[in-house]
Amino acid sequence: MKVLIIDDEPLARSIVRSYLAELGNYEILGEAGDGFEALKMIHSLKPDLVFLDVQMPKLNGFEMLELLEENPHIIFTTAYDEFALKAFEVSAVDYLLKPFSKERFETAINKVTKNEQSMIPTLTNELNKTNLEQARIVVKQGSDIKIISLDSVQYIEAYDDYVKIHVEEKYHVKKQTMNYYEKNLPDQFMRIHRSFLLNIDYLQKIESFEKNSYVAILKNGNRIPISRNSYSDVKQRLGI
Per-residue tens of pLDDT for the chain, all 240 residues: 999 999 999 999 999 999 999 998 899 999 999 888 898 899 899 999 999 998 887 788 877 877 887 778 889 888 877 665 555 555 578 888 899 999 999 999 988 887 645 544 445 555 555 556 668 888 877 777 888 999 999 999 999 888 999 998 899 998 888 998 998 898 899 999 999 999 999 999 999 887 778 999 999 999 999 998 898 888 888 777
Q: Tell me what pLDDT residue 122 has.
A: 47
Q: Burial of 219 by CB count in 10 Å (0-12 exposed, 13-18 middle, 19+ buried)?
A: exposed
Distances in Å between the Cα of 60 and the Cα atoms of 63, 148, 218 are: 5, 14, 33
171/22 Cα distance (integer angstroms): 49
Q: Burial of 15 by CB count in 10 Å (0-12 exposed, 13-18 middle, 19+ buried)?
A: buried
Domain boundaries of the chain, sorted by first residue: 2-128, 150-238
Helix axes 10-23, 102-114, angle to 10 degrees: 70
Q: Tell me what pLDDT residue 116 has.
A: 46
197/201 Cα distance (integer angstroms): 12
Which fold, 2-128?
Rossmann fold (3.40.50)
pTM of the entire predicted model:
0.62
Q: Which CATH architecture has domain 150-238?
A: Beta Barrel (2.40)
24/39 Cα distance (integer angstroms): 26
